[in-house]
Structure 1
Amino acid sequence: MFKLLVIEDDATLFNEVKDRLSQWSYDVFGISDFGNVMQEFSEIKPDLVIIDIQLPKFDGFHWCRMIRSHSNVPILFLSSRDHPTDMVMSMQLGADDFVQKPFHFDVLIAKIQAVLRRVYNYNTEAVSFKTWCGAAVDYERNTVSNDEGSVELTKNEMFILKLLIDQKNKIVSRDHLINSLWDDKRFISDNTLTVNVNRLRKRLEEIGLGTFIETKVGQGYIAIEEEPS
């Protein structure tokens, strides 16, 4: 049974979400002290976090930053705020998806299932380790390491990198990446993929690999394999 932590201060909405998700056999937890979210997060050890942006004391962006500084657990924002910058900000902070209120519960459940399936199922594949451009890519630990150091990626970042290096030196279309990451692209902004890829590049730049993910305008992205010297 997956444990879901719902960081939502609207008690009526939280209870409704909890009731509906419990019907799908999820173990749902809430927050009792919105000034001490990280302690409750650490105690619960959830498999997925659903978080609102507008919260008492500190907003959801703050808690997303705090969670990301300690964990790569998947995060899904649930918010009535609909400005594109809010969605972009959530992705830049490492969120896996964004659901806008009001929402249909079937959409929420589909997104939760897609994230959980992507995060906790793809690591069961036989291949858990690859080399790329002289770096060790560890799918189980979500790390990329080379002589310049090691970076830890979020689940989305590693999933994108895996899709690209599985087809290294070949263009992977935006549609393929979106359909692989999110089951129903009708609910996904095209900018969401761009933000995720840019965040992946920024992380890879820390160990000198940012330029090896190239954008092919109007087509998609390509992972370049470093030519041997």
Structure 2
Amino acid sequence: MQKIMIVEDDPKIAEHLQDYIDNYGFDVTRVTDFEHVMDAFHTVKPDLVLLDINLPRYDGYYWCRQIRKQSICPVIFISARIGEMDQVMALENGADDYITKPFHAEVVMAKIRSQLRRAYGEYAAKAEERVLEKFGLELFPERLELSYHKQTVSLSKKEADIIESLMERYPRVAGREDLLEKLWDDIAYVDENTLNVNITRVRKKFQELGITDAVETVRGAGYRLHVSWSKEAEG
């Protein structure tokens, strides 16, 4: 039975979520001690976390960063904050998705199922080790690592998926719709800006490896891996 951990300080909302998700056969735990969220995380070992932003003492961004230091389990923010920058910050701090309040429980359930499929189910990465190589780049999808000239950076699952698509399709364009379908099973519920944020995060990972302009935006189509820098490096 898969485990869902709810970190929400409004008891009515938390109880509503717990009751609804429990009806679908999940093992649901509500956190009530908001100063020791990571203690609960280590005890429960959840397969997915539902996380509010406005929490006592430390906010949800903080707790998401703590989770990301130790786990790549899916994290979905549920918040009354509807601003675009709030969603950007959530993704930048390691979230996999964002739901605004008030919400429909059916949408929450659809997003939970989608993230669980991506992380553990039919769409999850295979257990065997794979390596994708292109012009000095080495992507290890199962390790969530990208290497270039003996330097390595860690990736989130979505960052690895985007880079994998770019490498597999090169020199063709990876279309926006194709990327959305690869990253999110239920694209009807995905904000267009969410992909933009994840592309920005991918570009930052390349920059950490000393690679600039690695992801080319093809207007009206999508994105393409730009490898002129690697050809010069090899020469």
Answer yes or no: same fold by TM over 0.5: yes
Which residue of structure 1 aligns with residue 219 of structure 2? Answer: 217
Which amino acid is 2:164 matched to? Answer: K
Deviations 1:51-87 (A, max 9, x none): 0011111111111122223322221100111111111
Give the letter for the 1:10 counterpart. D
Q: 2 CA distance for matches of 1:145 and 1:17? A: 41
Structure 2 residues without counterparts, runs of 5 or longer: none
2:4 is equivalent to residue 4 of structure 1: yes
Q: Measure the CA separation in 2 of the matches of 1:132 and 1:25.
A: 43
Give the alignment partner of residue 137 of structure 1, picking from 130, 136, 139: 139
- Counterpart of 1:14 in structure 2 is 14
Deviation at 1:197, TM superposition (A): 0.8
The answer on whether the counterparts of 2:127 and 2:142 sit within 8 Å (CA) in structure 1 is no
1:176 is matched by which residue type in structure 2? D
Residues of 2 paired with 1:89 and 1:36: CA distance?
22
Whole-angstrom CA distance in 2 between matches of 1:130 and 1:123: 13
| Contact 1:203/1:210 (8 A) holds in 2 | no
Of the three residues 184, 187, 190, the one matched with 2:186 is 184
Tell me which residue corresponds to 2:84.
84
TM-score, structure 1 normalization: 0.91
| Residue pair 1:61, 1:90 contacting (<8 A) in 2 also | yes
> Following TM superposition, by how much is the alpha carbon of 1:39 offset from its aligned partner in structure 2, in angstroms?
1.8
Q: How many residues were matched structurally?
A: 229
After superposition, the C-alpha distances for 1:160-200 in whole angstroms (9 at most, x for unaligned) are 11222121211111122112222333322211101001111
Query: Cα gap change, 1:28/1:127 in structure 2, threshold over 3 Å: closer, same or farther?
Result: same
Q: Give the TM-score taking structure 2 as reference length.
A: 0.89
Aligned AA (2:35): G
Residue 76 of structure 2 corresponds to residue 38 of structure 1: no
In the aligned structure 2, how far is the partner of 1:7 from the partner of 1:17? 11
RMSD: 1.9
The Cα shift of 1:9 comes to 1.1
Does 2:99 correspond to 1:99? yes
Match for residue 122 of structure 1 among 104, 120, 124? 124
Equivalent positions of 1:164-175 (< 5 A) are 164-175=166-177
Amino acid at match of 1:190: E
Distance of 1:210 and 1:116 partners within structure 2: 33
Tell me how far apart the structure 2 counterparts of residues 103 and 128 of structure 1 sit (CA, whole Å).
Answer: 39
Higher mean alpha-carbon deviation, 207-216 vs 134-143, is at: 207-216
- 2:177 aligned with 1:200, yes or no? no
* 8 Å CA contact 2:129, 2:140 repeated in 1: no
Offset, 1:143: 0.8
Distance of aligned partners of 1:210 and 1:16 in 2 relative to their CA distance in 1, 3 Å threshold: farther
- Matches of 1:189 and 1:76, distance apart in 2: 14
| Identical-residue share of aligned pairs (%) | 37
Contact 1:77–1:90 at 8 Å: present in 2 too? yes
- Matched with 1:25 is 25
SS at the partner of 1:164?
Answer: helix
CA offset digits 1:10-58 (Å, max 9, x no partner): 1222122112112222221121310111222122222211100111111
Query: Aligned equivalents of 2:41 and 2:206: distance in 1?
Result: 28
Contact 1:148 1:207 in 2 (8 A): no
Q: Give 1:125 shift.
A: 7.3
Rounded Cα–Cα distance in structure 1 between residues aligned with 2:156 and 2:14: 26
Query: 2:125 is paired with a residue of what secondary structure?
Result: helix
Distance 2:11 2:87 in 1: 24
Give the 3-state SS of the residue equivalent to 2:94 in structure 1: coil
Checking the alignment, whether the CA contact within 8 Å between 2:49 and 2:74 is kept in structure 1 is yes
- AA matched with 1:72: I
